[in-house]
Structure 1
Amino acid sequence: MRSITETYDSFAKLSPDQTAIHTTNQQISYKKWNVLINQTANWLHALPSETKTIGILLPNDIPFLQMFLGACRAGWIAVPYDLKWNLTELKQRIHLSSPSLIVTTREIYSKIKHQIPNVTVLQDCLHNISQCSTSFEWEPEDDLPFYIGFTSGTTGSPKAFIRSQESWSASFDCNRIDFELNKTDHVLIPGALIHSHFLYGAVSTLYLGGTVYLLEKFSTAKVLSWTNNFPITAVYVVPTMIEGLLKETISINKPLKVISSGAKWNERSKIQFRQRFPELSLYEFYGASELSFISVLSEKEGMQKDRTVGKPCYGVEVQVRDEDQEIVKPYSTGKIYVRSNYMIAGYFDQEGVIQTIKDDEGWATVHDMGYIDEDGFLYITGREQNMILYGGINIFPEEIEKVISVHPNVEEVAIIGLSDSYWGQVTAAVIKGKNNLTEMQLKRFCKKHLSSYKIPRKWFFLNEMPYTTSGKIARADLVKQIESQVSHH
């Protein structure tokens, strides 16, 4: 059983002075990092706890990674919570994951301490941790769970999934083989660690012995200046960030690996990107929270086949099946099934029972549809459900529809995704209303009940919705109707 912190001891001995993490105001060596992780593990080990679960409600900084990886070393489970969630969303997820304690900043603590149990202030924890022993002896049990994340189910209510350390440490082979990363890499992490793409980027870099450069929050200017001023060799991004970089005038004049996940890029910005940044090599991968890495498209292959999401990653098998579970021929569309050691252990419910996502042979699906060509490249044709991918964030129409439909002057509502060159997709609300209902009224209404990124960006008012024969709103027709309306403007 591999643990995701197991390499720190040897890096602390072999290259004690090498920088492990570099932030705006701090640099920490592997020797110091190893000590911090050991102290954090000892501190957690000594705490009385039923669930051995720590909630992390912190900004992007060294303490976030320290709490996360200290928990891993102690055999605890870490649960990152998003600073953008409103109180209701936060409570829902705390209820699902039942942490023994939640570490947060003093400022957030003062806002939520009366509403949320077991919250503690980071500074106090760090003080207690600094008193702990600097060596940690403990053998992890087999395949220990270490990470709880959340996906919104199709109903829009969150589902909690749980991962084992083995699932991530096995996937570090993808970093080595598919992305050709190793201990000489200096890796920029410009996005929020609450997103597993960026968290994984940081954790895998530390496992391989590279240096992590961590931005507090994403800014195109910072990404460009850090890339040009520091010896950065790789950067993790989502397509939205690339769109932002294309708008800047500064260029990057050195070889750099760009590892992109999230929404599929549009061809226009890929061509622009290659023209603007000829030195950069692009690795796009397709994955899912539940399945982890699925396929990867390298720079050379991306030039030849730009509509594909690439070939299966190292250690991943992919099948496309029809409704009868038969494997289909090349170019035939079906549901994508995946088998690898990188998947989540399963979803877990309130009682802590884990429901696996795999069948008896170890295959699983997140209901994406697609096909494979004769060379073994995978193409995605769409989501089986209606999910909207907004700048790498999944948004579920059902959740927003539920809120808007409560408004007394809304007769019917459909939330659809409209393609957008910057975000990939933006949410649009299509409303059938009465009493001169306005966009302003609905936006105000949404602000009370939804996180800001879920509030629709565009609003359309119709006298009549298109319906399917079974009387449901015909989403595909509606999207076509609205898209053509938009393009005629």
Structure 2
Amino acid sequence: MKFITETYNSFAKLYPEQTAIHTSNQQISYKKWNILINQTAHWLHALPTETKTIGVLLPNGIPFLQMFLGACKAGWIAVPYDLKWNLTELKQRIHLSNPSFIVTTREIYSKIKQQIPNVVVLEECLHEISQCSTSFEWEPEDDLPFYIGFTSGTTGSPKAFIRSQDSWGASFDCNRIDFELDETDHILIPGALIHSHFLYGAVSTLYLGGTVYLLEKFSAAKVLSWINTLPITAAYVVPTMIEGLLKEMISFNKPLKMISSGAKWNERSKIQIRQSFPELSLYEFYGASELSFITVLSEKEGLQKDRTVGKPCYGVDVQVRDDGGEIVQPYTTGKIYVKSKYLINGYFDHERVLQPIQDEEGWATVHDMGYVDEDGFLYITGREQNMILYGGINIFPEEIEKVISIHPDVEEVAVIGLTDSYWGQVTAAVIKGKSNLTEIHLKRFCKKHLSSYKIPRKWFFLNEMPYTTSGKIARADLVKQIERQVSHH
């Protein structure tokens, strides 16, 4: 059983002055970090509340990690909320996760305090925490839940999942074995901690005793300047960020490891990034919020087999099965099943009734389809559902379709993902409706109901949709038709 914060005490003694976290305006040593986490745990532990769940609505920074990891140490559950969500989306997720209270900045507090009752101001919490005892001893129980995250279900409404400290603690072995990281690494986290890829990167680095370099928000110029001037050895990235870095046209002759998740990279950008960073080692992994790490593709293997997502990570078993549940032969496409210690405990609803994702033998699937080759490398052929992967963010067409279909002049709508060299995929809306409909009109309409990143980037108007024999919109045909149309322009 691994508790996520269990190593801090010994690091505080072994190398008290080593930097634990470096931001553009603050640095904190392991000695001070250990004290801060103890004080935060102490503060939470003393609060009179049943639910023991803290909501974190904060920008990237030391306080975000302090609240998240202080909660872990106290045996609480932490729920990060995205600053990009609109009020409706935020309320939905607060209702699902039911936090005792939500910590946010003074500025956000003044905007939402009327609509969301249990919000508290970060500065006031930090003041109370600073008065608490600097040591904290408490024996947490095994398999303690510590993290609530969200995925949109196929219906577009959010689903909450919960995971235990044990699942993340166990997966820290992947850092050591698959990514070859240890306490000597200086690791750049350039993306928002609300995304589990970046949060995991920061939390696992602190567990292993490395130094976290945390950007407030992603900026390609800032990333390159930090890599150039600071002793950074590795960076967690998503493919969109790589595209941003390439646009800066700067090259580095410095060893650097990049750990990428999210959308599959296109070959062009892989070749370019290797030219810009001649001493780069690329580690790509395929994973899912619910399943954590699944496969990893190392630098060497990536050059030999460029279309694969790699081999199973340390401690992970992968099977590809047909509709009858039988394991298929190499090169036969089927549904991908995963078994490891890294899985979530399950999804839950408003009543906090847990629905585990594993079967009796411990296997789980997120309904991705793919096949393995004769060497055991996994290839992804697509999502069983229609999910769009936009710059590493999952977007579900059904949610957007629901909004657009409310418009009185829209007869039918299909939202599809179009291939895009920068984002991986972009969202496109295909509309059948009255002749007076315009793109501007529909965009304005979407703005009222959707977060900006969910508003379709491209709009197409058709007189007739392609249908399947059962009368549903034939999505695959529609994508082909629109892609053809785009390429002819």
Asked if TM exceeds 0.5, the reply is yes
Structure-2 separation of matches of 1:450 and 1:477: 27
Q: Which stretches in structure 1 are left out of the alignment for 5+ residues?
A: none
- CA deviations 1:364-412 (Å, max 9, x no partner) are 0000000000000000000000000000000000000000000011011
Distance 1:432 1:125 in 2: 52
Q: Is the contact between residue 151 and residue 159 of structure 1 (CA under 8 Å) also seen in structure 2?
A: yes
Paired with 2:297 and 2:212, the residues of 1 have a C-alpha distance of 24
Q: Alpha-carbon deviation of 1:233?
A: 0.2
Whole-Å Cα distance in 2 between the matches of residues 414 and 379 of structure 1? 27
Q: Give percent identity, aligned residues only.
A: 88
Contact 2:19 2:29 in 1 (8 A): yes
Q: In structure 1, what is the equivalent of residue 130 of structure 2?
A: 130
Counterpart for residue 200 of structure 1? 200
Partner residue, 1:14: 14
SS of 2:244's partner is helix
- Work out the CA distance in 2 between the residues paired with 1:304 and 1:15: 41
Matched residue type, 1:6: E
Separation in 2, partners of 1:333, 1:66: 44
- Given that residues 224 and 251 in structure 1 are in contact (C-alpha distance below 8 angstroms), is that contact kept between their aligned partners in structure 2? no
- Structure 2 residue 362 is matched with structure 1 residue 362: yes
Q: Give 1:197 deviation, angstroms.
A: 0.1
Q: How does 1:182-197 map to 2 (within 5 A)?
A: 182-197=182-197
Distance 2:65 2:467 in 1: 49
Match of 2:155 in 1: 155
1:453 paired residue number: 453
2:320 aligned with 1:325, yes or no? no
Contact 2:250 2:276 in 1 (8 A): no
Tell me, in whole angstroms, the C-alpha distance in 2 between the residues paired with 1:352 and 1:150: 14
Q: Deviations over 1:244-283 (max 9, x none)?
A: 1111122222000000000001111111121221111000
CA distance in 1, matches of 2:2, 2:270: 37
* Secondary structure of the structure 1 residue equivalent to 2:369: strand
CA deviations 1:64-111 (Å, max 9, x no partner) are 000000000000000000000000000000000000010000000001
Q: In structure 1, what is the Cα distance between the partners aligned to 2:108 and 2:364?
A: 39
- Separation (CA, whole Å) in 2 of partners of 1:103 and 1:243: 34
Q: CA offset at residue 288 of structure 1?
A: 0.1
Partner-residue secondary structure (3-state), 2:430: strand
Deviates more, 1:271-280 or 1:3-12: 271-280
For residue 435 of structure 1, report the CA deviation from its aligned partner: 4.0
* Contact 2:420-2:426 within 8 A present in 1 as well: yes
For 2:377 and 2:419, the matched residues in 1 are separated by: 24
**Structure 1 counterpart of 2:298:** 298
Q: Determine whether 1:110 maps to 2:110.
A: yes
CA RMSD of aligned residues (A): 0.5
Shift of 1:351: 1.1
Q: Work out whether residues 11 and 209 of structure 1, in 8 Å CA contact, stay in contact via their aligned partners in 2.
A: yes
Report the 3-state secondary structure (helix = DSSP H, G, I; strand = E; otherwise coil) of the residue aligned with 1:263.
Answer: coil
Q: For residue 148 of structure 2, give the secondary structure of its aligned residue in structure 1.
A: strand
Give 1:12-411 correspondences, 5 Å limit: 12-411=12-411
- Structure 1 stretches of 4+ with a deviation exceeding 2 A read none
Using the TM superposition, give the Cα deviation of residue 183 of structure 1 relative to its aligned residue in structure 2, in angstroms.
Answer: 0.2
Q: What letter matches 1:15 in structure 2? A: Y
Write the distance in 1 (CA, Å) between the matches of 2:170 and 2:226: 30
Please tell me whether the aligned partners of residues 388 and 394 of structure 1 are also in contact (alpha carbons under 8 angstroms). Answer: yes
What is the letter of the counterpart of residue 64 of structure 1?
A: F
In 1, are the aligned partners of 2:412 and 2:432 still within 8 Å (CA)?
Answer: yes
Provide the C-alpha distance between the structure 2 equivalents of 1:217 and 1:206, rounded to a whole number of angstroms: 20
Aligned-pair CA distance for 1:350: 1.1
Corresponding letter in the other structure for 1:479: V
Report the counterpart of residue 462 of structure 2 in structure 1: 462
**CA distance in structure 2 between the partners assigned to 1:119 and 1:458 by the alignment:** 37
For 1:19, give the aligned amino acid: T
User: Can you list the C-alpha shifts for 1:211-241, whole angstroms capped at 9, x where unaligned?
Assistant: 0000000000000000010000000000000
Structure 2 distance, partners of 1:351, 1:469, is 40
The 3-state SS of whatever aligns with 2:400 is helix
SS of equivalent to 2:3: coil
- CA offset at residue 436 of structure 1? 1.4
- Equivalent-residue separation in structure 2 for 1:479 and 1:212 (angstroms): 42
Partner SS for 1:371 = strand
Aligned mates of 2:360, 2:337 — CA distance in 1 = 13
Count of matched residue positions in the alignment of Structure 1 and Structure 2: 489
Which runs of no fewer than 5 residues in structure 2 stay unpaired? Answer: none
Counterpart-to-counterpart distance in 1, 2:287 and 2:99: 28
CA contact (8 A) 2:246 2:273 kept: yes
Paired residue secondary structure (1:419): strand
Q: Distance in 2 between matches of 1:249 and 1:275?
A: 11
Q: In the alignment, is the contact (CA less than 8 A) between 1:160 and 1:347 conserved in 2?
A: yes
* DSSP-derived class of the 2:445 partner: helix
Q: Deviations over 1:281-340 (max 9, x none)?
A: 000000000000000000000000000000000000000000010000000000000000
TM-score, normalization: structure 2? 1.00
Letter of the structure 2 residue corresponding to residue 251 of structure 1: S
1:438: which partner in 2? 438
TM-score (norm 1): 1.00
Residues in 2 aligned to 1:2 and 1:487: alpha-carbon distance in whole angstroms = 52
Provide the rounded CA distance (Å) in 2 between the counterparts of 1:289 and 1:272.
Answer: 29
Verify the 8 A CA contact 1:372 1:379 in the aligned structure 2: yes
CA contact (8 A) 1:429 1:460 kept: yes
Cα distance in structure 2, aligned partners of 1:336 and 1:448: 38
**2:122, 2:254 → 1: CA distance?**
39
- Find the aligned partners of 2:252 and 2:293 in 1 and give their Cα distance: 28
The CA distance in 2 between the partners of 1:472 and 1:482, in whole Å, is 17
Q: Aligned-pair distance for 1:353?
A: 1.4
Amino acid at match of 1:394: N
* Distance in 2 of aligned mates of 1:244 and 1:109: 32
Q: Deviation per CA, 1:165-206, whole angstroms, max 9, x where unpaired?
A: 000000000000000000000000000000000000000000
Helix, strand or coil: the match of 2:134? Answer: coil
